[in-house]
Amino acid sequence: MTLNGIDVSSYQSTTYSTAGLSFVMVKATEGTSYVNPRHADQIAHGRAASLVVGHYHFVRPGSMSAQASYFLQHAAAKAGDILALDWEDTGVPGTDKDTFIKDLQAAAPHNRVLLYCNRDFWLNRDHSSFAGDGLWIADPDAPAGRPRIQHAWVFHQYSEAGGIDHDVADFASKAALQTWTAKGTPKPAYEPFPGTAWFTIGRRSPIVAAMHDRLVAVGCDHYQSSANKDVIGSGDVASYEAWQRKYNTEHHKGWTGDALKWPPGKETWDALHVPNV
């Protein structure tokens, strides 16, 4: 299940519709010289509708620490609000993106800090896979909740309609989102890596079936059929190795040989996002 939300800036009304929404993300600042003049009212409108609110900063080339401070000063976030870095400027390298997020996490320990970027930035400009507390991925050409990446994500901006950007959050309920933003429990409930020794041919488990479904979903389907998909077999081996090759290429890992072979490793398993069963 996912939750519906939107993101807004000065281009949108301060009285945007909140019907059917669980959260809103509002632009606060850009660089060190711009503040969204509607930010405070847009945040207040979201709070009045009991939405989870987030604030985001459009980063520009320059001092990351100065921009993080400027953002926090003008966002005036409360504990439990979300803070996000909007990374769209090609003049800001990935190392600066990482610095901004780390500075923000240190300065705002009671808030979740996210990275927002599109697929091009994530797949081709990012080389650390660092997204703070979670990734907010923009992929408007993908169905809601199915962004075309393999890394775990928290929010997906999937369309623009009626002058509003629409998003979904990967939580089972609004209460779960609120618990996460309050930093009460880690998110999400995905299957932890069971260890390389667990992946033996013939093992039967609902985790295997969930892995099967995720491998198909990410385009690494080398199965002959879905019969007995809860049992590890040759199709799982071929499909998972295809996934490791894909992950290796998209994240510029430079792995070769046995690093691309069965059994699964923790990094690719965590990135596969196998739901907890």
Q: Are residues 103 and 13 in the same domain?
A: yes
Q: Are 119 and 147 in contact (CB under 8 A)?
A: yes
Residue 74 is part of a domain; what is its CATH number?
3.20.20.80
Residue 250 domain-assigned (yes or no): yes
Residue 267 domain-assigned (yes or no): yes
* Domain span holding position 225: 196-272
**pLDDT of res. 189:** 63
Among 126, 155, 181, the domain-final residue is 181
Q: Are residues 101 and 228 in the same domain?
A: no
Residues 6+ away with beta carbon under 8 Å from 45: 14, 15, 16, 18
DSSP designation for 121: I
Calpha distance 185→67 (Å, rounded):
29
Residue 187 domain-assigned (yes or no): no
Q: Are residues 79 and 108 in the same domain?
A: yes
Q: Are residues 79 and 131 in the same domain?
A: yes
Among 148, 181, 214, the domain-final residue is 181
Residue 51 domain-assigned (yes or no): yes
How do strand 134-138 and strand 155-161 relate by DSSP bridges? Answer: parallel
**Phi, psi angles (nearest 5°) of residue 118:** -95, 175
Q: Are 132 and 152 in contact (CB under 8 A)?
A: no
Q: Are residues 136 and 32 in the same domain?
A: yes
Q: Are residues 174 and 90 in the same domain?
A: yes
Q: Are residues 204 and 83 in the same domain?
A: no
Q: Are residues 96 and 224 in the same domain?
A: no
Residue 190 domain-assigned (yes or no): no
Q: Are residues 212 and 235 in the same domain?
A: yes
Q: Between the CA atoms of 269, 270, 272 and 276, what dihedral angle is there, to the nearest 10 degrees?
A: 100
**pLDDT of res. 62:** 97
The neighbour count for residue 200, using CB atoms within 10 Å, is: 9
User: At 108, which amino acid appears?
Assistant: A
Q: Are residues 50 and 174 in the same domain?
A: yes
Residue 147 domain-assigned (yes or no): yes
Residue 191 domain-assigned (yes or no): no
Among 125, 158, 181, the domain-final residue is 181
Write the CA distances from 158 to 41, 55, 113, 180, integer angstroms.
25, 19, 20, 22
Q: What is the pLDDT along the chain (277 residues), one digit of tens a residue?
A: 689 999 999 999 999 999 999 999 999 999 999 999 999 999 999 999 999 999 999 999 999 999 999 999 999 999 999 999 999 999 999 999 999 999 999 999 999 999 999 999 999 999 898 999 999 999 999 999 999 988 889 999 999 888 899 999 999 899 999 999 998 755 556 888 888 888 999 998 888 999 999 999 999 999 998 889 999 999 999 999 999 999 999 999 999 999 999 999 999 999 999 987 6
Burial group, residue 63, by CB count within 10 angstroms (0-12, 13-18, 19+): middle
Number of domains forming the structure of the chain: 2
Q: Are 84 and 97 in contact (CB under 8 A)?
A: no
Q: Are residues 173 and 236 in the same domain?
A: no
User: Among 93, 116, 38, 101, which Cα is nearest to 71's?
Assistant: 101
Calpha distance 233→221 (Å, rounded):
13
Residue 82 domain-assigned (yes or no): yes
Q: Are residues 161 and 260 in the same domain?
A: no
